[in-house]
Amino acid sequence: MGKRILIVDDEPNIVTSLEYLMKREGFEVQVAVDGEAGLKAAAGSAPDLVLLDLMLPKMNGFEVCERLRADPRSRGMKIVMLTAKGRQADTARGMAAGADLYVTKPFSTRELVAQVKQLLSAPG
């Protein structure tokens, strides 16, 4: 059974590119365009991994991440934070919120795919 990936981002072009990349690798892809929708989607379909933007309408990525980690059902979910905010402090806060990985935009597509695969093959 293919792994499921949830993309939460409000930038349509980025969503398109991520969707294309993940589908090409054989993952099942679901999309949400704001923080609240992202949480709802995560609760509903229980994806294996979330690609989470930081600057989201309605609820920012940090909060989405913290809430996912707080919920026992989604605690084991892999979370990759994708953000255009590259300051040291932002990275630290992202890791503190419970992300497995913090990727700064613009990212290398190859690296991102490789990191997602590695996260999904790891136990737990």
Partner 1 sequence: MLQGWVIVLVAFAYLGVLFAVAYYGDKRAEAGRSIIANPYIYALSLAVYCSTWTFYGSVGRAASTGIGFLPIYLGPTLMVALWWFVMRKIIRISKAYRITSIADFIANRYGKSQILGGLVTVIAVLGVVPYISLQLKAISASFTILRNYPNVLMPVHATGQSFANNNALYLALLLAAFTILFGTRHLDATERHEGMVAAIAFESVVKLLAFLAVGAFVTFGVYRGFGHIFQLAQQERRLQPLMTVPETSGSYASWGSLILLSMLSIVTLPRQFQISVVENVDEDHLRKAIWLFPLYLFLINIFVLPIALGGLMLFGPGVDADTFVLTLPMAQQQKAIAVFAFVGGLSAGTGMVIVETIALSTMVCNDLVMPVLLRWKSLRLNERPDLSRLVLLIRRCAITVVLMLGYIHFRVAGEAYALVATGLISFAAVAQFAPAIFGSIYWRGGTHAGAIAGLSGGFAVWAYTLLLPSFAKSGWLPGSFLTAGPMGISLLKPQELFGLTGMDEISHCLFWSMLVNVGLHVGVSLLGRQNANETEQATLFVDVFRRTPALERSAFWRASASVDDLLPLIGRFLGPDRARELFIAYARRRGADSLEELSADADLVAFAENQLAGAIGGSSARVMIASIVQQQPPGIDEVMNILDEASQVRAYSRQLELKSRELEEATRELRAANKQLQELDRMKDDFVSTVTHELRTPLTSIRAFSEILLDDPEIRLPDRKRFLATIVKETQRLTRLINQVLELAKIESGSAEWHTTELDVKDVVRESVETTSQLFRENRIELQTAVDGELLPAVRADRDRLMQVLINLLSNAVHVCRPGEGRVEIRLGVSRGFLQVDVRDNGPGIGPADQETVFEKFRQVGDTLTGKPHGTGLGLPISRRIIEHFGGRLWVESDLGAGATFSFTLPLERPAAGAGETVAQVTG
Among 56, 48, 61, 57, which residue's Cα sits nearest to residue 6? 48
Among 74, 78, 75, 79, which residue's Cα sits nearest to residue 54? 79
The pair of three-digit structure tokens given for residue 63, joined into one six-digit string:
């909060």
Q: In this chain, which of 18, 32, 42, 52 binds partner 1, going by CB under 8 A?
A: 18
The stretch near partner 1 (CB under 8 A) out of 39-47, 64-72, 93-101, 108-116 is 108-116
Q: In this chain, which of 46, 84, 96, 114 binds partner 1, going by CB under 8 A?
A: 84
Q: Could you say whether residue 40 binds partner 1 (CB under 8 A)?
A: no
Q: In this chain, which of 46, 55, 96, 114 binds partner 1, going by CB under 8 A?
A: 55
Which residues, at least 6 apart from 9, have a Cβ–Cβ distance to it below 8 Å?
A: 15, 18, 31, 33, 51, 53, 56, 82
Among 81, 76, 87, which residue's Cα sits nearest to residue 112? 81
Of 60-79, binders to partner 1 (CB under 8 A) are: none
Q: In the bound complex, what is the minimum distance in angstroms from residue 95's beta carbon to partner 1? A: 19
**What is the contact surface with partner 1 in residues (CB under 8 A)?**
10-14, 16-18, 20-21, 24, 33, 55, 57-58, 84-87, 104-110
